[in-house]
Amino acid sequence: MTWVLVALGGAVGSTIGALLLRRPSSALLVTATAVVCGLAGMMSAQHVSSRVTAVVGYGVLGSAASMVAFALAAPMWVGGDVPVRSTVSAAKKVGMYCAVGVTFALLGYLAVRGGTTLYRKLT
């Protein structure tokens, strides 16, 4: 049953990713990466049912993250230094998106954990 829920969430996430990334720009890709990773961080800090985690955490967010990864594919160049330029370009893009992803995943996690801790201390 869990795999069916993950598949349904993946279909929803792929649809959302395809709609958002019809005309990818750098700002849109960075924003989509930040939102997906922030929500994934929030999901990891939240104790919800395994069914909700399967649909939203693994299904929707996992497939939306893969849509962002596909949009990162660099165009091919023609020339003698193609492997070097392609590798450097891909490394720069992946490094930037990884930094954004890790930062927003941490912020999402800390927002939930900090909010929960504050709520417990105040009540």
Tens of pLDDT along 18-75? 777 777 777 888 888 888 888 888 888 887 777 887 788 778 877 776 666 666 655 6
**Residue range(s) defining the domain that contains residue 116:** 2-122
Number of domains observed in the structure of the chain: 1
pLDDT band of residue 96 (cuts 50, 70, 90) is confident
pLDDT at 1: 78
Residues 6 or more apart from 104 whose CB is under 8 A from it?
Answer: 33, 34, 35, 37, 38, 41
Distances (CA, A) of 78 to 72, 75, 81, 83, 85: 19, 10, 8, 10, 10
**Predicted confidence band of residue 85 (pLDDT cuts 50, 70, 90):** confident
CA pair distance 49, 64, nearest whole angstrom = 21
| Numbers of helices and strands, H then E, in the chain | 5, 0
* Average pLDDT, integer, range 93-119: 90
